Chain A
Amino acid sequence: MMEGSGAAVTANGLTKYYDSLLAVDHITFEIAHGEIFGFLGPNGAGKTSTIRMLMNLIRPSEGSAAILGMDTVRDSLAVKAQVGIVPEVSNIFPELSTLNNLTFTGALYGMGRRNRMARASELIDLFDLAEHQHRKAVELSMGLRRRLAIAMSIMHRPRIIFLDEPTSGLDVSSARAIRDTVRELNGEGVTFFLTTHNMDEANQLCRRIAVINRGRLIAVDTPERLKQAAAESQVVEAVFDRELEPAEVEELSGLEGCSQLLPEAGKYRMRTSDPARILQGLYPFMHRSGIKPVSINTLGPSLEDVFIRLTEGGKEAAGDG
């Protein structure tokens, strides 16, 4: 009904103080319908606090937020009916079985008995939980618990889902399965707000990424544009057939176009904005010193570089002030 106009989520100067600690500092952003919005930041940046404010689990100290056009504080119950959440710390009922966790969740959303039984068995199939459906949740492995938590979050077919570090602590295939689920649901029109430390994940999934540090939003953009902004942090990485002498290291770091040399476990990483220029100088260098290359790679700017650049910038700025 409100699909065409307005945003799925709007935060307006959202701020949270825990006593005197400023955890979230006047953040403002909008998430479009059907978007996967990534919230990227180091530990303690304020990601979880932001989600908790949006869910009205804690009160904002200042500012406001709207979800599907409804105020998150005033219309809290109406908002919650449309929103699903998978929290950072698992909070499924340990004493209830997989099936009962799902049906009880359905009851909390006011679903009738037949409806919630049907939906629960649908999700048990979808999430491949059939053989665990009568086991108590406390007995499930971490990966299974996370799957169950996600299943519980979509029991009521929410239009917006908050995922707080959905893949942290999971093995590669469980994490991928969760990303696939996110993509599938997103294909059906569900909007996602997802926090993560995992750059790769943000890069793969998110249309836009907000970088938050020390409670402040320091960038909101597409992964590509964020990476462009860090173009100077491309890297040429060389591995040679022997360890370099100090004088050779010196020479290598003086190659034209190399802004920084980072030797690391037998690898020599040269930071640059122009990998081709480095390569031009690298071959004569190896020839002169009689070294053979084992491998030479150029690495584009990763989101990680962007992230480190942005968040370290934040630290410096804070240190100066």
Chain B
Amino acid sequence: MDSEVFEAREPALLDGLRKAWAIAGKDMRIYYLQPAVLIFGLVFPIAIFFAFMIGRDVQTASLFPGLIALTLFFSTTTVAPFSVPWERMNRTFERLLFAPVSLPMAVLGKVISAFLFGLAVSLVPLVLGLLFFGSHIQDYGALVLGIILGNLCLANMGMLISTVRADTPPKVMMVLNVVRLPLMFMSGIFLAIPTLPYWGRVIAWFSPVSYATDLLYKGLGFQDYFGIVISVLMLLAFTVVMYVASVLRMRTWNR
């Protein structure tokens, strides 16, 4: 009896993951090259970063953890807030629910596409830093965890933001930026967290971006603040909470 239940559950999960992957593939095909996604996800963070950093008297290599964190943050959180309201407006999101796809798997599919977008985009400044600007990897583990878990966590943050009560993509984009801009300053992107004043360090605890940034500093050989274990646990916790919250929010849409 127990083994029967177990056997029945295993393929159902696999089946769900396959469908989530199909949704992610469809999103990649449709949304990655949308101008709005490229502008808010790629051009925006780079422009902001240089606007803040130009003329400051710091070593170039020390800028890169922050730059990578900012690109990762902006690119990953852009995809879902663009695609979800767009698909609600077209009613194509509902088409996913015509099929035997559970809401958690539909959400996972969208998270995966955002994750992969952020991953690809955040590798660009990393590679540039390594090749041309004297960055070097000190702690591979921290770097990989920072990039992977940071992207995953922020993909879920984008997902959660995309569930706000707003009916068009531009409105959701506005909400997204209202959330993102303060977080940008709370998260050790322009100044590493250990160098922040006391209150800055306190506030940093509340931003999931801080933990990704901190891991990136550590990975590229700079002083970190939280330590790997805390950063990893906090990123995981934020990921789970935001994922569950996204699913619950979406459940209320069609009541």
Task: Enumerate chain A interface residues (CB-CB to B < 8 A).
Answer: 52, 55, 57-59, 76-78, 80-81, 85, 87, 89, 91-96, 100, 104-105, 107-110, 156
Per-residue interface assignment for chain B, residues 77 to 115, with 1 indicating a CB less than 8 Å from any chain A CB and 0 otherwise: 000000000000011101111111110000000000000
* Bound-state Cα–Cα, A110 to B13, Å: 12
* Bound-state Cα–Cα, A104 to B95, Å: 11
21 contacts between A and B (CB under 8 A): A57-B97, A58-B255, A59-B254, A59-B255, A77-B102, A78-B100, A80-B98, A80-B100, A89-B91, A91-B92, A92-B92, A92-B95, A93-B30, A94-B90, A105-B95, A108-B19, A108-B23, A108-B95, A108-B98, A108-B100, A109-B99
Assess the B254–A95 pair: CB atoms within 8 A: no
Assess the A110–B95 pair: CB atoms within 8 A: no
* Bound-state Cα–Cα, A81 to B102, Å: 12
* Bound-state Cα–Cα, A90 to B7, Å: 38
* Bound-state Cα–Cα, A87 to B255, Å: 18
Please tell me which one of the listed residues B25, B90, B99 contacts residue A80 in the complex, with CB atoms under 8 A apart: B99
Interface residue B29 (Cβ < 8 Å from any Cβ of A): yes
Chain B neighbourhood of A92, CB < 8 A: 92, 95
Chain B neighbourhood of A105, CB < 8 A: 95, 99
* B173 → A minimal CB distance (Å): 18
Please tell me which one of the listed residues A85, A95, A108, A156 contacts residue B96 in the complex, with CB atoms under 8 A apart: A108
Chain B neighbourhood of A109, CB < 8 A: 99-100
Q: Interface size class for chain B?
A: 20 to 34
Chain B neighbourhood of A93, CB < 8 A: 26, 30, 90, 92, 95
Assess the B254–A96 pair: CB atoms within 8 A: no
Query: Considering only CB atoms, which chain A residue lies closest to B102 in the complex?
Result: A77
Assess the A91–B254 pair: CB atoms within 8 A: no
Query: Considering only CB atoms, which chain B residue lies closest to A61 in the complex?
Result: B255
* Bound-state Cα–Cα, A89 to B26, Å: 21
* B223 → A minimal CB distance (Å): 46
Chain A neighbourhood of B101, CB < 8 A: 77, 108
Assess the B100–A91 pair: CB atoms within 8 A: no
Assess the B98–A85 pair: CB atoms within 8 A: yes
Assess the A110–B15 pair: CB atoms within 8 A: yes
Assess the B90–A57 pair: CB atoms within 8 A: no
A interface, by DSSP: helix, strand, loop or mixed?
loop
Please tell me which one of the listed residues B29, B98, B255 contacts residue A96 in the complex, with CB atoms under 8 A apart: B29
Query: Considering only CB atoms, which chain A residue lies closest to B98 in the complex?
Result: A85
Query: Considering only CB atoms, which chain B residue lies closest to A80 in the complex?
Result: B100
Query: Considering only CB atoms, which chain A residue lies closest to B30 in the complex?
Result: A95
* Bound-state Cα–Cα, A107 to B100, Å: 10
* Bound-state Cα–Cα, A89 to B18, Å: 28
Assess the B97–A110 pair: CB atoms within 8 A: no
* A97 → B minimal CB distance (Å): 10
The 8 closest A-B pairs by CB, nearest first: A107-B22, A108-B99, A91-B91, A77-B100, A80-B100, A81-B100, A95-B30, A58-B254
* B250 → A minimal CB distance (Å): 12
Additional 8 contacts, C-beta under 8 A, given A58-B254, A92-B92: A80-B100, A91-B94, A94-B90, A96-B26, A100-B29, A108-B95, A109-B99, A110-B18
Query: Considering only CB atoms, which chain B residue lies closest to A95 in the complex?
Result: B30
Assess the A108–B22 pair: CB atoms within 8 A: yes
Chain B neighbourhood of A87, CB < 8 A: 91, 94, 98
* B169 → A minimal CB distance (Å): 14
Chain B neighbourhood of A80, CB < 8 A: 98-100
* B218 → A minimal CB distance (Å): 40
Query: Considering only CB atoms, which chain A residue lies closest to B251 in the complex?
Result: A59
Chain A neighbourhood of B94, CB < 8 A: 57, 87, 91
A95-B30, A104-B26 given; A55·B98 CB < 8 A: yes
